[in-house]
Amino acid sequence: MSEQLDAKKKPLGRSDAEALLKAADEVYVAKGKKVLHFKMKQADMDEVLAVVLGPTGNLRAPTFRSGKTLVVGFDEAAYSAVLG
């Protein structure tokens, strides 16, 4: 099943982002030229939220989920690693 949301029409706030993070086992966050990788069982939720939320307090885009992996931001290598 595939679902696509337009972040401009319906931005996802902190509570939405937190729900997505709780459902994930791993999170990759592209920030500049760096990619941060979090294993959610060991990660601090506030630390992860600090990097996945933008200055407006909404989930950064693009964001996609593949199984139990969440990818926030764009990084070609991270996309390749997750999507195969």
Number of domains in the chain: 1
SS (H, E, C) the chain: CCCCCCCCCCCCCHHHHHHHHHCCCEEEEEECCEEEEEECCCCCHHHHHHHHECCCCCECCCEEEECCEEEECCCHHHHHHHHC
Asked if the structure places residue 37 within a domain, the reply is yes
Asked if the structure places residue 81 within a domain, the reply is no
Q: 67 lies in which domain range? A: 14-76
Q: Pick from 31, 34, 32, 38: which is nearest to 70 by CA? A: 38
Name which residue leads in pLDDT, 79 or 45.
45
Asked if the structure places residue 7 within a domain, the reply is no
Asked if the structure places residue 38 within a domain, the reply is yes
Asked if the structure places residue 9 within a domain, the reply is no
Query: Could you report the per-residue pLDDT of 21-51, keeping only the tens digit for each?
Result: 999 999 999 988 899 999 999 999 999 999 9
Query: Could you report the per-residue pLDDT of 47-73, keeping only the tens digit for each?
Result: 999 999 999 999 999 999 999 999 999
Per-residue pLDDT, 78? 87
pTM surpassing 0.85? Answer: yes
Asked if the structure places residue 59 within a domain, the reply is yes
- Report whether pLDDT(2) > 70: no
Asked if the structure places residue 26 within a domain, the reply is yes
Asked if the structure places residue 66 within a domain, the reply is yes
Cα three-residue angle 52-21-62, rounded to 5 degrees: 45
